[in-house]
């Protein structure tokens, strides 16, 4: 793709869909099979069908002018039309201070939407771009693929896409176990808690593919759990990841561990609560409903990204790099 020019189509909401780059499709698909174990035995057609279900890669300008010469590029994997609109609406306040754009999509086989986002900001005289990775942690393939695009990692996480070399781009850390993440999840817990001393709380996450990454995420989630324990009377709190994109057997093992915890809690007469560090309220929640069918539990399915604390975290993270 010409780094100085982007051809795109635009819908009625202002979402911009770059014209696809010419690249070796078969090579990209083979790279995906090696990168993602669950795709190993899929045909080209099956993988492309899955990509279509994930939704397109696109970018969505929030504001063209802010009160400073800094830009904020908010990168997310996409949550469907409703979830994406929730994110767009929630970051309007960020757009008052900084030229702001959403870059939506998994970036598995293309980076054109990211390149076009950066091009527009650069042409609008943005001096420095702060990239906000909308992810629970940095320890997953999605953030690594984004880092690869910005030349922050040597190896791609999905496939070899076009990269950006711009010294005026700063990649921020994900929210992880920041105090605002702890406060949001505590608030979501309190919304569904009625008798904390007789309740068991599950903190559930999508989870990464790699087991080493998974261990790191569980530590971060345990930190959130300890914060909730300190500020409530709930004394049984357990963090779990599904590793939703890992090989089927790994996910099933994780699911069985969660169900075993739920069964023990029920046997102890405890009311089961569930919250998550999921970024959107419109992600894998519907899948969880099927996973735990037959269990009596209360799930606050809200995500972090539309909460005012999350928006405040974005603004404070950028501000910390500009003062």
| Each residue's pLDDT tens digit, 105-133 | 999 999 999 999 999 999 999 999 999 99
Tokens of 261: 């915890």
**What does the pLDDT average to over 280-295?**
87
* DSSP per-residue codes, 89-125: HHTHHHHHHSEEEEEES--SS--HHHHHHHHHHHHTT
The ranges of the chain annotated as CATH 3.40.50 are: 179-299
Length of the chain measured in residues: 323
Residue 172 is classified by DSSP as P
- Asked if the model's pLDDT at residue 58 lies above 60, the reply is yes
Q: How high does pLDDT run on average in the chain?
A: 93
- Asked if the model's pLDDT at residue 154 lies above 60, the reply is yes
Domain 179-299, architecture per CATH: 3-Layer(aba) Sandwich (3.40)
Residue 21: the pLDDT is 57
Cα 175 from chain centroid (whole Å)? 10
Residue 245: the pLDDT is 85
Residue 246: the pLDDT is 87
**What does the pLDDT average to over 13-24?**
82
- Asked if the model's pLDDT at residue 4 lies above 70, the reply is no
Residue 5: the pLDDT is 66
Pick the closest to residue 212 from 243, 238, 237 (CA basis): 243
Decide: 75 and 131 in contact? Cβ < 8 Å.
yes
| Residues near 256 by beta carbon (within 8 Å), at least 6 away in sequence | none
- Asked if the model's pLDDT at residue 55 lies above 90, the reply is no
| Each residue's pLDDT tens digit, 169-225 | 999 999 999 999 999 999 999 999 999 999 999 999 999 999 999 999 999 999 999
272 or 24: whose pLDDT is higher? 272
């Amino acid at each position: 793709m010409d780094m100085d020019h982007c051809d795109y189509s635009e819908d009625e909401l202002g979402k911009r869909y770059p014209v696809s780059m010419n690249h070796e499709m078969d090579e990209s698909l083979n790279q995906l099979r090696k990168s993602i174990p669950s795709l190993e035995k899929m045909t080209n057609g099956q993988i492309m069908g899955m990509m279509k279900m994930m939704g397109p890669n696109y970018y969505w300008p929030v504001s063209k002018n802010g009160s400073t010469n800094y830009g904020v590029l908010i990168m997310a994997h996409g949550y469907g039309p409703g979830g994406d609109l929730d994110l767009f609406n929630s970051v309007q306040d960020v757009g008052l201070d900084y030229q702001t754009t959403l870059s939506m999509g998994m970036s598995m086989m293309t980076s054109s939407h990211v390149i076009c986002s950066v091009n527009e900001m650069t042409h609008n005289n943005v001096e420095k771009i702060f990239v906000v990775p909308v992810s629970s942690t940095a320890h997953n393939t999605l953030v690594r693929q984004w880092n690869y695009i910005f030349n922050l990692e040597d190896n791609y996480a999905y496939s070899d896409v076009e990269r950006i070399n711009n010294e005026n781009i700063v990649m921020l850390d994900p929210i992880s176990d920041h105090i605002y993440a702890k406060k949001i999840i505590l608030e979501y817990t309190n919304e569904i808690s009625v008798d904390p001393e007789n309740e068991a709380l599950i903190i559930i996450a999508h989870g990464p593919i790699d087991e080493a990454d998974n261990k790191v995420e569980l530590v971060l989630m345990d930190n959130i759990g300890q914060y909730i324990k300190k500020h409530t009377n709930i004394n049984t709190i357990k963090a779990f990841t599904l590793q939703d994109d890992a090989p089927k057997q790994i996910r099933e093992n994780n699911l069985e561990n969660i169900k075993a915890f739920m069964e023990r809690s029920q046997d102890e007469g405890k009311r089961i609560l569930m919250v998550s560090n999921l970024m959107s309220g419109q992600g894998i929640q519907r899948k969880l409903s099927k996973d735990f069918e037959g269990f009596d539990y209360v799930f606050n399915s809200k995500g972090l990204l539309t909460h005012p604390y999350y928006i405040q975290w974005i603004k404070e993270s950028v501000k910390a790099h500009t003062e």
